[in-house]
Amino acid sequence: MEFDTTLAEAWVRATAAAVEQEQQRLTELDSAIGDGDHGSNLQRGFTAVLTALDGLDPAGPGEVLSRTGSTLISKVGGASGPLYGKAFRALGSALPGPAGPAALGEALAAGLQAVRDLGRAEPGDKTIVDAWTPALAAYRAAVADGADLPRAAAAAADAAGQGALDTVPLQARKGRASYLGPRSVGHQDPGATSTALLFRALAEVTAH
């Protein structure tokens, strides 16, 4: 299985559906340690993305992902729009045409690097990075073991979900949550949680 234009669009649409379904939970998580708008901001952004994709005749998967990123940057407030927007644009730049599992892994690495470059976050800072980093590691390990795209994506989704859970005992060192200091401990990071949704959506669309 290759990651092609159809799969790229299916991934974005599945992510939008997951954000829609989990909007309240993301907002509740963000209300505890942030501005309380993570869910609503992402939902608004991905609604705009769906509209943008409806009018698009993409030349390849990269165009789908790049348009997704540009739309998120222009439509989403707070930190999540620029972070996810830059990530999707990096993914798009790395995937001009259909790609096998290894090439998609390199694109996912480019997406993570874009997040880290913009947010200056490291693993352990209680951010998106804490879910994306283990997801990428699990994906790459699966591919190295000979896994196809569905199995590699499933491994990444499981690792991202665990990474989000693992943010609960961390003290936030970036973003609005960092202002709370020790009071940020005991809460799951909303950005890591939405990253887990992103990787779960990838696993779901590749499994079919």
pLDDT, one tens digit per residue, over 114-166 is 999 999 999 999 999 999 999 999 999 999 999 999 999 999 999 999 999 99
Give the CATH class of 5-207: mainly alpha
State yes or no: pLDDT of 27 exceeds 90.
Answer: yes
pLDDT at 18: 98
CA distance 6 to 9: 5
CA distance 200 to 87: 16
Neighbours of 189 (CB within 10 A): 33
Question: Which own/partner pairs from 150-153 qualify as long-range (CB within 8 Å, at least 24 positions apart)?
Answer: 150/1, 150/203, 150/206, 150/207, 152/101, 152/105, 153/199, 153/202, 153/203, 153/206, 153/207
pLDDT band of 172, cuts 50, 70, 90:
very high
CA distance 117 to 100: 26
In terms of Cβ atoms closer than 10 Å to its own Cβ (0-12, 13-18, 19+), residue 109 is middle
- Reading the block at residue 31, the tokens are 């209300």
- What average pLDDT is seen over the chain? 95
pLDDT at 116: 96
Q: What's the average model confidence in pLDDT over 193-198?
A: 98
State yes or no: pLDDT of 183 exceeds 90.
Answer: no
pLDDT at 15: 98
pLDDT tens digits for range 33-46: 988 999 999 999 99
pTM over the 0.85 mark: yes
CA distance 34 to 29: 8
pLDDT at 181: 87
pLDDT at 152: 98
Read off the amino acid at residue 202. Answer: L
pLDDT at 114: 97
State yes or no: pLDDT of 77 exceeds 80.
Answer: no
pLDDT at 174: 86
CA distance 64 to 92: 7
pLDDT tens digits for range 86-105: 999 999 999 999 999 999 99
- Of the chain, the percentage scoring pLDDT greater than 90 comes to 90
Residues 6+ apart with CB under 8 A from 103: 3, 94, 95
